[in-house]
Amino acid sequence: MVVAGGIVALVLGSGASRPMPGESGTAPSEAAGAALRPNVVFVLTDDLSMNLVRFMPHVLAMERDGLTFKDYFVSDSLCCPSRASIFTGDFPHDTGVFSNFGPGGGFRAFYRRGDERHTFPLALQAAGYSTALMGKFLNGYLETSGHGHLSDGEVTDVPARYVPPGFTQWDVAGWGYPEFNYTLNQDGVLHYYGDHPSDYLTDVISRDGVQFINRAARQKTPFLLELATFAPHSPYVPAPRDANDFPGLGAPRPPNFNVLPTDPPKWLADHRPLTRTQIAKINSAFRRRVQSVQAVDRMIGTIESTLAADGIGRNTYLIFSSDNGLHTGQYRLMPGKLTAFDTDIHVPLVVVGPGVPAGKTTNAMSENIDLASTFAAIAGTHMRSDGHSLLRLFHGHPAAGWRDAILVEHHGGPMSVLDPDYQQSPSGSPTTYEAMRTHRFLYVEYADGEREFYDLRTDPFELHNLARQLTPSELTQLHAALSRLEQCHGARRCWAAMHVAPLAPVRGVRPRSPGSNT
């Protein structure tokens, strides 16, 4: 395999002989009592890219007061597959959820495969926790998509009042992307919310979250609360009070903005430079995205104030993240996702809470499949998954022996026009692929045989595809390592597959200049 200033050979780690950092000692003693076990508030946003964090003062304060994961990624840059991986701790190849709709996607696939009976809320509820989900669940749940009822092919065989197992409180919307005029299933009772400013969905779940926390504090019950916003997903609807903020703000212009990488894959190669009209649309979308995260940021501040007022702030982990990122002009693409580029797979993960050192960062390779095991470890319990608990990292333990590779899986193909993530060609429509991301490189294999390889040490913006410059031996080694990841099942085998070790450089490569803007 390959990396670094030139191309570097790699070999897969020793697999089963490599130890997994233990969780022993992280669980509270039985004598401590349920009331002393830490609480968890998990704020999961929708399509929030890394370039939005600087506009969120409460999240920036979390970075100052807690731990920031610099290398946290998602298993698929698409809403439902990513959220299925978060709930179960499993890769898409184990959840069977590869899309938002259709036989292999959405709530339909999650329900029919029985994935809902293998989730972190169930594990924590069994451990004595009160558990709540507020906001967004999975695509296809309680959904008419805003365009009429879903087709018969999307029927999930469950009533609209259905509440999945594992939740003490359930306040979940179907098609909540417009933030107004939606239906909320509140513990099996359907409530319609209209278009008054007080109906803005992010504010509604913020109020409900406060009530849940206050009740749990009075009852002295440990709890897990997931606040899953639809913001800042398209159509990027800000709260009315934020609709005029950030005048003149445009999308950032990193080196990969409106530029193709050298030797791009076929799905990307024919994209022409963005027009002035397209760039204006990108700027408008970015400004609305920044406006829409203001309500999310205020919600975080409200939750922090509530925890402090109830006297439980120091015993509560507050965790902030996103289900995937979003590109806005990078690689000549209109706003969208689905790619293996960092714009789409690299997302925030910030945590504050008991034992979390202030103002620290970690470069430990981590992924959304790790969250389920982490929440279980916080509660002093365990759940089977492909991931690995991050709790030791939360507490500042060194990452010695930690994994150095993560897996990204994506199934391409036509998307339903009812899909909230429906993308036309200008936003990008990647072919089915599997990808391996390490600190040193990104390697992608497409179903049509194409490959990409980016040396991240010299090319952090992923502009020089060096795949054609790799030797047959290097390609064979990369393929073998990626195949082990694709075929892993369970924590130990996936942990072993996520270790690769560098050997000596075999040669240097001077990459060609990336494509120009014209």
Q: Is residue 79 annotated as part of the catalytic site, yes or no?
A: yes
Concatenate the DSSP letters of all residues of 321-352 into one string. Answer: EES---BSSBTT--SB--SSSHHHHB--EEEE
Going by C-alpha positions, the residue among 483, 506, 465 that lies closest to residue 261 is 465
Q: Would you put residue 246 in left (φ > 0), alpha (ψ -120 to 50) or beta?
A: left
The 3-class secondary structure across 474-488, one letter per residue, is HHHHHHHHHHHHHCC
Provide DSSP, 159-227. -TT---TT-SEEEEESS-TTSSSEEEEETTEEEEE-SSGGG-HHHHHHHHHHHHHHHHHHHT--EEEEE
Say if strands 433-438 and 441-446 run parallel, antiparallel, or are unpaired. Answer: antiparallel
DSSP state of 28: P
CA distance 22 to 20: 6
Give the angle 240-246-247 at the CA atoms, nearest 5°.
100
In total, the chain counts a number of residues equal to 518
Closest CA to 17 of 503, 495, 508, 422: 495
Contact (CB, 8 A) for 203 and 239: yes
Helices (H), 310-424: 342-345, 371-378, 391-394
Q: Which of 79, 80, 488, 494 is catalytic?
A: 79
CB 412 within 8 A of CB 338: yes
- According to DSSP, the residues that pair with 43 across neighbouring strands are 227, 320
Q: How buried is residue 299: exposed, middle or buried, by Cβ count under 10 Å (0-12/13-18/19+)? A: buried
**350 backbone dihedrals φ, ψ, rounded to 5°:** -130, 140
The catalytic residue positions are 79
